[in-house]
């Protein structure tokens, strides 16, 4: 990876960190993703853990990245990659040694 690419990667990590800090005003991650997992479980009829909510949101972002616009050009939006970094970080926050807490 060239230095400029590495700088881009570090910048993306910094942006993800800023986004996570900004989003913390919505309340504790544990509470927020707990509510989302309850709603997801209700909608799907299957239990959904908080970490699975993160995986689902990563899947949403990956789907958006695989889409093409009206000119058949890939929709490679940087913010989708940054969101993926953020959801992965939240999943790590919610996990305890590979086992999700309550």
Q: What is the pLDDT of residues 26-82, one digit of tens each?
A: 888 889 999 999 999 999 999 999 999 999 999 999 998 988 878 877 777 889 999
* Contact between residue 61 and residue 87 where contact means Cβ atoms under 8 Å apart: yes
**Structural domain total, the chain:** 1
pLDDT at 102 over 50: no
pLDDT at 83 over 80: yes
* Contact between residue 62 and residue 68 where contact means Cβ atoms under 8 Å apart: no
Q: Which helix (DSSP H) or strand (DSSP E) does residue 96 occupy?
A: strand 95-96
Instruction: Provide the pLDDT for residue 49.
Output: 94
- In angstroms, rounded to a whole number, what is the distance separating the alpha carbons of residues 96 and 17? 20
Three-point CA angle 46, 49, 54, nearest 5°: 115
Q: Three-state DSSP class for 95? A: strand
Residue 84 lies in domain: 3-100
């Amino acid at each position: 990876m060239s230095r400029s690419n590495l700088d881009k990667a570090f910048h993306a990590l910094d942006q993800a960190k800023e986004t996570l800090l900004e989003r913390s005003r919505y309340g504790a991650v544990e509470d927020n993703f707990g509510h989302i997992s309850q709603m997801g479980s209700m909608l799907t009829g299957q239990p959904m853990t908080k970490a699975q909510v993160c995986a689902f949101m990563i899947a949403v972002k990956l789907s958006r990245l695989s889409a093409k616009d009206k000119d058949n050009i890939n929709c490679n939006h940087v913010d989708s990659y940054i969101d993926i970094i953020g959801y992965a970080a939240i999943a790590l926050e919610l996990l305890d040694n590979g086992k999700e807490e309550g």
